[in-house]
Amino acid sequence: MTRVVLGSASSGRLRVLRGAGIDPLVVVSGVDEDSIVASLGPDAEPGDVVTALARAKADAVHQVLQPAVAADCAVIGCDSMLYLDGQLRGKPGTAEEALRQWNSMAGRVGLLYTGHCVIRVLHGSAARSATAAAVTRVRFSTPAATDLAAYIASGEPLQVAGAFTLDGLGGWFIDGVDGDPSNVVGLGLSVTHGLFASVGLAIGDLWAANQLR
């Protein structure tokens, strides 16, 4: 019975998995994302950056698993960033930065990149692993100044990639997406399905082993 472990504190990613029939064990990685991005250099491709972060998160979680879980599990690591004007944008962190990001992306199209890593752990060791990045085009509306101020005051955009959500309050300001919506939320079901298959796991078996409570 293979336990699915989500190496992320993201409530959106957790909702994606639960909505797709898998109730994972959540273990937060705590990796230093800034140092990893810096080590890749300014010319790294967006897909390579988010994939490296996803791999680092999955690796970190694998190292701290309890023996009973590490006997048979699949660790998922993910990282998302918005690519616009030749720059990758992560979590703004402050209201001022969130406002700056929104002023630059309102009424435009950005590319939401999510890196994914799945590590198949057996008897405590990483037996197999696979990584992939997915990209979805996001079409932003132009919120009224009062609406944008209220959104930023809610605190939601401060701790999410690109200062927006699709499945939360930010959904009011998204005109549409071209590609996998779950990728925008932070965990693309299609790409994760492929990664599971590549490490020898079937969705039906994972449903049975990780049933919703």
3-209, which class in CATH?
A: alpha beta
Q: Looking at the predicted structure, is the pLDDT value of residue 93 above 80? A: yes
Q: How many CB atoms lie within 10 A of CB 63?
A: 11
Could you tell me which residue, 29 or 153, shows the higher pLDDT? 153
Q: Is 180 annotated as catalytic? A: no
pLDDT at 146: 98
Across the range 114-124, mean pLDDT stands at: 98
Q: pLDDT for 10-68, tens place per residue?
A: 999 999 999 999 999 999 998 888 899 999 988 899 999 999 999 999 999 999 999 99
Q: Looking at the predicted structure, is the pLDDT value of residue 94 above 90? A: yes
Mutual angle of helices 33-40 and 46-63, in 10-degree steps: 140
Q: pLDDT for 101-114, tens place per residue?
A: 999 999 999 999 99
Task: Quote the CA–CA distance of 187 and 180 in Å, as a whole number.
Answer: 10
Q: Looking at the predicted structure, is the pLDDT value of residue 86 above 80? A: yes
The domain limits of the chain are 3-209
Q: pLDDT for 156-191, tens place per residue?
A: 999 999 999 999 999 999 999 999 999 999 999 999
What 3 state SS string does 156-192 have?
HHHHCHHHCCCCCHHHHHEEEEECCHHHHHCCCHHHH
Residues 6+ apart with CB under 8 A from 83: 46, 89, 110, 111, 112, 113, 135
Q: Which stretches of the chain are assigned E, i.e. beta strand?
A: 3-6, 25-26, 72-84, 87-89, 109-122, 125-140, 174-178
Asked if residue 90 lies in contact with residue 116, where contact means CB atoms within 8 angstroms, the answer is no
Reference 12, options 165, 117, 158; nearest CA is 165
- Among residues 34, 79, 180, 205, the one annotated as catalytic is 79
pLDDT at 18: 98
Q: Looking at the predicted structure, is the pLDDT value of residue 213 above 80? A: no
